[in-house]
């Protein structure tokens, strides 16, 4: 008969030995599994502007480019950091034209969106050593669009192992750097590639 050499995990208070309690039922704050991301509360509590944020952001005259997180401007589009990113370096290519429908954009805007995405990819790869990318659009609420009225192209850098237990089990993403720090690492690459 084979011998099982695996050690049993030690009992967990309030879980092991209590068949009525599961990991899912674990009370909040019951131990070291607490994760704080206080900057996220702004997403849920700040008032939603009446005007489209993607229309007002590039027209903002009182804020610096760093304050707005805009990294580059092209003829028909601009590149901005996602204020609530999936990963560090999550950028968006936004057309100046206000629309939620790809069919409403001209061929020139379509082309420029993907040229800008290619610049984003090159800059992120160089500055952040990204190993892969997810690039795409979320059109409509059913597709996961956070801002429904103004389409935008997401450029999300990826690294091997960046999908770990945190987002899968805890529905929490850990970012290794604040937005301004990432902005300052990315901006020189955009300046070099978009200088006229």
pLDDT at 146: 84
Number of domains within the chain:
1
Rounded to the nearest angstrom, the gap between the alpha carbon of residue 55 and the centroid of all alpha carbons in its chain is 20
**How far apart are alpha carbons 22 and 195 in whole angstroms?**
57
Q: Tell me if 174 is assigned to some domain.
A: yes
Q: Tell me if 31 is assigned to some domain.
A: no
Residue 119's domain spans which residues? 53-194
pLDDT string in tens for the chain (196-residue length): 455 444 454 444 444 444 444 455 555 555 444 445 555 566 567 777 778 999 999 998 888 999 999 999 999 999 999 988 888 899 999 999 999 999 999 999 999 999 999 999 999 999 999 999 999 999 998 988 888 899 999 999 998 876 654 454 445 555 566 889 999 999 999 999 987 6
pLDDT at 88: 86
Q: Tell me if 30 is assigned to some domain.
A: no
**How far apart are alpha carbons 189 and 123 in whole angstroms?**
5
Put the strands of the sheet holding 77-81 in their side by side order. 70-73, 77-81, 91-95, 153-158, 132-137
User: Per the structure block, which two tokens stand in for 125?
Assistant: 């790869």
Q: Tell me if 119 is assigned to some domain.
A: yes
Q: Tell me if 1 is assigned to some domain.
A: no
- Helices 179-194, 107-128: axis angle to 10 degrees equals 120
pLDDT at 195: 77
pLDDT at 28: 55
Mark residue 104 as left, alpha or beta (left: phi above 0; alpha: psi -120 to 50; beta: remaining): alpha
Just list the catalytic residues. 152
pLDDT at 41: 62
Domain CATH for 127: 3.30.428.10
Q: Tell me if 16 is assigned to some domain.
A: no
What residues contact 51, with CB distance under 8 A and at least 6 apart?
A: none
The DSSP code for 27 is: P
Q: Which of 57, 81, 74, 70 is nearest to 175 (CA)?
A: 81
């Amino acid at each position: 008969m084979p011998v099982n050499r695996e050690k049993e995990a030690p009992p967990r208070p309030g879980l092991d030995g209590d068949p009525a309690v599961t990991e899912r039922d674990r009370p909040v704050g019951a131990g070291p599994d607490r994760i704080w991301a206080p900057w996220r509360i702004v997403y849920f509590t700040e008032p939603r502007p009446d005007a489209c944020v993607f229309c007002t952001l590039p027209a903002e005259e009182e804020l610096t480019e760093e304050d707005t997180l805009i990294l580059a401007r092209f003829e028909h589009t601009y590149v901005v950091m996602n204020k609530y990113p999936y990963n560090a370096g999550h950028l968006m290519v936004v057309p100046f034209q206000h629309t939620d429908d790809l069919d409403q954009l001209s061929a020139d805007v379509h082309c420029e969106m993907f040229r800008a995405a290619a610049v984003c990819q090159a800059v992120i790869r160089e500055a952040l050593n990204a190993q892969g990318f997810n690039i795409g659009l979320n059109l409509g609420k059913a597709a996961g669009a956070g801002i429904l009225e103004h389409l935008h192209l997401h450029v999300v850098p990826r690294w091997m192992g960046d999908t770990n237990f945190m987002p899968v089990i805890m529905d929490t993403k850990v970012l290794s750097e604040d937005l301004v720090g990432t902005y300052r690492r990315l901006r020189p690459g955009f300046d070099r590639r978009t200088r006229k």
